[in-house]
Amino acid sequence: MKWKSRHGLRGHGVSTCDAKKQEALQFGVRGETYAYWHLRRLGYIVIARNHASSRAKGDGKTALPELSITPEKHHVLVRTAHYFLHERHIKECPLRFDVVAIDNAPYHPRVVRLQSRA
């Protein structure tokens, strides 16, 4: 009990690592929301967001987000899309993957890059 009360006074029980993770998550959500509305303005119809049946971990070595989609990640995307269609009982459907990358640096205008991949 005493440990919890002392711990709470040092940051309300949230470590620096947890705070950084929370900040990174919020940053990502803001970017995803911006990408969603950018695509809507371009006429896209978004049928799902953040659908995942399995996730591949990135290595964080690339500077541009769109370059981080390796052949392995592309394979996971294709497999996930097929599973998504199967869940909804959709037999035949052409697939295309559009990659939206956003440079969202503080104090700089946002830069959006959109690439289509079959």
Write out pLDDT tens, residues 18-46.
888 888 888 888 888 888 999 999 998 88
pLDDT at 118: 58
pLDDT surpassing 70 at residue 55: no
Predicted local distance difference test score (pLDDT) of residue 72: 92
The DSSP annotation for 66-81 comes to GGG--HHHHHHHHHHH
Contact 79, 11 (CB under 8 A): no
- Predicted confidence (pLDDT) per residue in 84-95, tens digit: 899 989 888 888
Q: Domain residue spans in the chain? A: 2-117
Alpha-carbon gap, residue 40 to 112, rounded angstroms: 13
φ, ψ dihedrals at 55, nearest 5°: -125, 140
